[in-house]
Structure 1
Amino acid sequence: MQEWGSDMVKENILNSATVKYTDFLLATASGKIEGVKGPGKLATPFEKTKLAAYTLGAMTPCMRLYAFIGKEVQALLDSNESSHLYKTWIDNYSSESFQDSALQTEDLLDKLSVSLTGEEIDIIEKLYHQAMRLEIEFFCAQPLVQQTIAIVTAPKSDESQPENQIARMSSVDLRNTWGVLSSQYTEEYEQCIESILLTDKVEKFDYEGLHKALEQLSDFEKRANSRVIESGVLKGLNLEDIKRAGERLILQDGCTGFFQSIINNENLNANVHVLSYCWCGDLIRSAFSSGGLDVLNVHANEFVYENSISTGKIVKKVESPIDKLLAFSDILKNSSSDRKGLTVYIGDSVGDLLCLLEADVGILLGSSSSLRRVGSNFGVSFVPLFPGLVNKQKECVEGNSSSWKGLSGILYTVLRGFMRLLLSVILRNGNLVKTMDFIEDYGFYVILVLKSQFLIFQFSASLYSMV
């Protein structure tokens, strides 16, 4: 572990996703498997073989996934790059020995499964799927590290400036001030969430109670924004620099194509709106514009400029969960009155909860623990998106009345990496929409959510959801 750069003395707090997988693996190896009677004393060789097969069913996805990722990443590395943070990790999992181990594990699983019944094979399949899901959740739980936009570049206040130009604080002061603001935001945000969770947990969906609770979060977000404005860290940014930064943002693979497929699909009749806490709408618009997506409707806060230089103030439009809900409601009110729209809202944070629940279809990206804790506290149910779609389809085929309705208290969940695939099930050619009695003259409004955290505009991190 020391060779891999990990200090076990200092780094002893396991990621919750890691704990989930290890607990699952240990439970499986102990014979504690859902729907399976305990193994007892494992008196016969057959019982021992069956448990070994179950355990390998839970282990094999990890081996295969790591072997695959290691080999794929190794192929992308520059041959001249001899040292980097993940070198040992990549070298280990891309090595021939590990590739052979993964293959041997799969071969052994195949051999042990030969004598099993169809029912027992089904159990292994379920264990395999569960293990792969836990592994994907582990990778999704890792922090995304990206370059900071604009803030870490040398501000013009460090160079010679015209006397009449708005002054910007020095790089040192900027970083120090940002550090204080960031720490204060994180601490108070966690306190606010814990305060919301002090209310008694309810069994039935309580939208009104949730709305009232999130008013606390809204007040906090607005106070935090006021501190940022008063600090002066937003002062002195050049509009052209901001636009160039937006144009250079690298969107995740498939993001641009995803939006284009929605916009260009005439049968879908979709209006696309982007709601964001971002302080600077110009940054978002320029990022989309670089991909030929000027038609997207962006709802965000805006910088105030003088001679194309930011004054440090913002036009406050979308600061909080309540603001997002108001913007969402306004979008629906301003939609064509002669068409009934099916609304799809995609979000990933507590600030999106009210809009997710108001929409006909609320899709939750990733596994935000804060959102799930707050939602569960007020009776919100979380259903995997794909099985949810299949169940709706079955209801339609069986002739039962089936419709998507807002305020049902149900959110559909999807891991980030599968967003584009699963949305294509809903959107592609409007096929599923038609089969579920949402005929062509229904408007289809897709509300996509982006977020930013203070001066690190985590735009591409939000768009990771489109992969």
Structure 2
Amino acid sequence: MQQPALLFLTDWDGTITEHDTLSLVAPTDTQVQDGKNTFAYYENMYQETMSKFKDDYGPIDSENTLREYIGDVLKAEKITLNKIIEDGLFQGIRGDELRSRVSQVAFRPGWDQIQAWICAHTPCDCVHAYIISINWSRQFIHEALLLNTKEKQGVDCNTTGFEGILANEVEECTGICTGRIVGPNGAPPLLTGIDKLNIFRDIRSQYVKEPITLYLGDSVPDLLCLLEADVAIIMGNNPSLLKALDDSGLSLCMRTIANLRDVVQHGNLPDQTMLVRTNTWCQVMEIITVLTDNIDALCTLRAKRRT
């Protein structure tokens, strides 16, 4: 496997896209079989379960408490998913019907430029790119990216540029959904930030020489990956994520793009993650340019720091 100098890792929902896309993956009311609950029923269940869990958990006033919270939330996350599987929300529905709404995915401004860059630079130029998502359909994500490339760039191809899309999948048998939701390669479903962090570390461990890691996310489940990366980009203004950063004191680590550029160009790579918040992928492209223009120096500095 070619050794990358830059490992590009990103969330999907709310990061690449403007909104959560689970409602586009879930069966429509007309697709739901008679006598079964609609997707809205499970959305309400999830909101109530998570709200009660947060109220019972108590204050999150440090990084350690935040990390514990992200790990403990697994029990609450499982309640809704297990109910969806038990009730058979997806059971008997054709898989291609679940992916029929990929054209409705709204991408954040500037994503087209980034996807073109990924396709042009991975993996031949020592850049490897992955999506890590707790979304329910890897295939939905794949098809949405391909369609966007075709519509926005006029390129009809069978590659997204990503070396891997690590996400859950609605299980199918001969094109018909069984009702189960499984994780990558049939593993248990990805549900929490702990699951995402384990995937992050598994990907990074594939390379003998650890690359400079860039992670992008928009929500609390992304926090552990954000804090693990060399450079972390928080996309947008998710109130829950920003509050978690403030309450735990991590907002003090935030940098501007200008400050990040100054740190990198002067040959400094701090021990802690460099956190930057952006609103568009155009701003992310600025950060990528800074990193790739100085990648050799950054890799050398990081190697020295860890010996």
Superposition TM-score tier, normalisation by shorter sequence? 0.7 to 0.9
Counterpart residue type for residue 245 of structure 1: R
Q: Who is 2:15 aligned against?
A: none
The 8 Å contact of residues 346 and 365 in structure 1, kept in 2 or not, is answered as yes
- Counterpart secondary structure, 2:30: coil
Measured after TM superposition, the shift of residue 299 of structure 1 is: 0.5
Q: Who is 1:154 aligned against?
A: 30
1:392 aligns with 2:263: yes
Q: Who is 2:230 aligned against?
A: 360
1:328 and 1:146 map into 2 onto residues whose CA distance is 22
Measured after TM superposition, the shift of residue 151 of structure 1 is: 2.7
TM-score (norm 2): 0.74
- Counterpart secondary structure, 1:235: coil
1:221 and 1:314 map into 2 onto residues whose CA distance is 13
Q: Who is 2:141 aligned against?
A: 284
One of 30, 35, 40 as aligned partner of 1:179: 40
1:261 aligns with 2:120: no
The 8 Å contact of residues 275 and 324 in structure 1, kept in 2 or not, is answered as yes
Deviations 1:358-384 (A, max 9, x none): 111111111222122223333312524
Deviations 1:282-305 (A, max 9, x none): 111111233244342100111221
The 8 Å contact of residues 214 and 230 in structure 2, kept in 1 or not, is answered as yes
1:254 and 1:410 map into 2 onto residues whose CA distance is 22
One of 272, 277, 283 as aligned partner of 1:422: 283
Q: Who is 2:3 aligned against?
A: none
More helix by share: 1
Deviations 1:404-460 (A, max 9, x none): 54xx2653212x2xx2222222223865434x82369x9xxxxxxxxxxxxxxxxxx
One of 169, 180, 190 as aligned partner of 1:318: 190
2:27 and 2:196 map into 1 onto residues whose CA distance is 26
One of 62, 72, 75 as aligned partner of 1:216: 72
1:438 aligns with 2:298: yes
Q: Who is 2:218 aligned against?
A: 348
The 8 Å contact of residues 91 and 177 in structure 2, kept in 1 or not, is answered as yes
Q: Who is 1:189 aligned against?
A: 50
The 8 Å contact of residues 134 and 167 in structure 2, kept in 1 or not, is answered as yes
The 8 Å contact of residues 268 and 427 in structure 1, kept in 2 or not, is answered as no
Q: Who is 2:84 aligned against?
A: 228
Q: Unaligned regions of 5+ residues in structure 2, if any?
A: 1-17, 150-156, 183-187, 303-307
- Counterpart secondary structure, 1:438: helix
One of 376, 387, 391 as aligned partner of 2:246: 376
The 8 Å contact of residues 350 and 374 in structure 1, kept in 2 or not, is answered as yes
Counterpart residue type for residue 143 of structure 2: S
Measured after TM superposition, the shift of residue 154 of structure 1 is: 3.2
Q: Does the C-alpha gap of structure 1 residues 224 and 177 become closer, same or farther in structure 2, counting only changes over 3 Å?
A: same
1:380 and 1:429 map into 2 onto residues whose CA distance is 23
Identity %: 22
Measured after TM superposition, the shift of residue 231 of structure 1 is: 2.2
TM-score (norm 1): 0.51
Superposed CA RMSD: 3.1
Q: How does 1:39-118 map to 2 (within 5 A)?
A: none
The 8 Å contact of residues 242 and 282 in structure 1, kept in 2 or not, is answered as no
Higher relative contact order (CA 8 A, sep 6+): 2
Measured after TM superposition, the shift of residue 330 of structure 1 is: 0.6
Q: How does 1:236-255 map to 2 (within 5 A)?
A: 236-246=92-102, 249=105, 251-252=107-108, 254-255=110-111
Deviations 1:227-263 (A, max 9, x none): 2211221222212223443366454554233122133
Q: Does the C-alpha gap of structure 1 residues 184 and 260 become closer, same or farther in structure 2, counting only changes over 3 Å?
A: same
Counterpart residue type for residue 176 of structure 2: I
Q: Who is 2:268 aligned against?
A: 402
One of 262, 280, 294 as aligned partner of 2:160: 294
The 8 Å contact of residues 265 and 429 in structure 1, kept in 2 or not, is answered as no
Paired residues in the alignment total: 266
Rg larger for:
1
The 8 Å contact of residues 347 and 356 in structure 1, kept in 2 or not, is answered as yes
Counterpart residue type for residue 211 of structure 2: G
2:71 and 2:174 map into 1 onto residues whose CA distance is 37
Measured after TM superposition, the shift of residue 341 of structure 1 is: 0.4
The 8 Å contact of residues 344 and 362 in structure 1, kept in 2 or not, is answered as yes
Measured after TM superposition, the shift of residue 223 of structure 1 is: 2.2
The 8 Å contact of residues 385 and 422 in structure 1, kept in 2 or not, is answered as no
The 8 Å contact of residues 260 and 274 in structure 2, kept in 1 or not, is answered as no
Measured after TM superposition, the shift of residue 268 of structure 1 is: 5.2
